[in-house]
A = this chain, B = another copy of it.
């Protein structure tokens, strides 16, 4: 694995290897790599959790993280993304994590540089590290994916999480359904009635209502959305035993999920955050150390 751009590029074996390595890191701790590497987190869109999760993983791996500020970068002087990245490569970076508002921004870059690229989210496209931490959390909690009923509820068409996860979960043998207002379904077949899905879902994965992408043009209030498409306190009571609630966060409390459910016993929301650090450390290790990586040899030892 040279870059991590989209869940579509990963085979089942590659996914398994990353999840296994993250489980090892969670059990035994993240340790500094033997070599010094330089990386940078290029976030052209706001982010707290993804960026800080990478920052923590990088420090635990002993990497040097070179700060980058999109607002004061040469991008504001009209430099192309390719030229910015070539510059960073010549300055000596080994890998960059990029979040960028343009879907598929990386298509112009792939194959043109040696520096590795990890996609931290591209517009309404993919968000593979989020997807892998979601898979990790499902596997850790429910033991596997085959035959699981996964419901993804919310703003499907704008969500890179929905797309990344659906791709991967289906590949891994889960049944994925979508619930959302019809106008937010995009190309996905969806339902809009919780009664069709709440009793049978093993995983209820909620998506954030992205107010900032709708320009105030939503046809319902927050209260109406919560009542019709959110996970209310009443609906949670109908969930099957052992089923779990997930959300990529940040959460809009009392919109997509009742505020009182955020830290309920079914909720994996903060466990997802915790697991994100292990997943990102596993990915950085894999990409920076490539073939010479010792753990790949031992990746037959599955942790779950």
Contact = CB atoms under 8 A, between A and B. Distances in A.
Contacts of A263: 86
A79 interface: yes
Contacts of A277: 91-92
A138 B79 CA distance: 24
17 contacts: A38-B56, A47-B72, A48-B75, A48-B84, A52-B91, A55-B67, A56-B66, A71-B71, A74-B249, A77-B211, A77-B212, A78-B211, A78-B252, A83-B251, A86-B270, A87-B270, A91-B274
A273 interface: yes
Interface string A72-99: 1111111110011011101111000000
Contacts of A276: 91
A84 B53 CA distance: 12
B67 A274 contact: no
B80 A253 contact: yes
A120 to B, nearest CB: 13
Contacts of A56: 38, 66, 91-93
A35 to B, nearest CB: 13
A110 interface: no
B52 A88 contact: yes
Interface of A: 38, 40, 43, 45-49, 52-53, 55-56, 59-60, 64, 66-80, 83-84, 86-88, 90-93, 208, 211-212, 249-253, 262-263, 270-271, 273-274, 276-277
A218 B158 CA distance: 40
A111 B66 CA distance: 32
Contacts of A64: 59
Contact of A79 (B86, B250, B273): B250
Contact of A40 (B52, B208, B251): B52
A87 B46 contact: no
A249 B79 CA distance: 9
Nearest to A47: B72
B38 A59 contact: yes
Nearest to A49: B87
Nearest to A93: B56
Nearest to A251: B83
A300 B88 CA distance: 33
A209 to B, nearest CB: 10
A281 B231 CA distance: 45
Given A49-B87, A77-B208, A86-B263, 7 more contacts: A46-B74, A48-B68, A48-B84, A55-B66, A67-B67, A79-B249, A86-B270
A99 to B, nearest CB: 10
Contacts of A49: 74, 87, 91
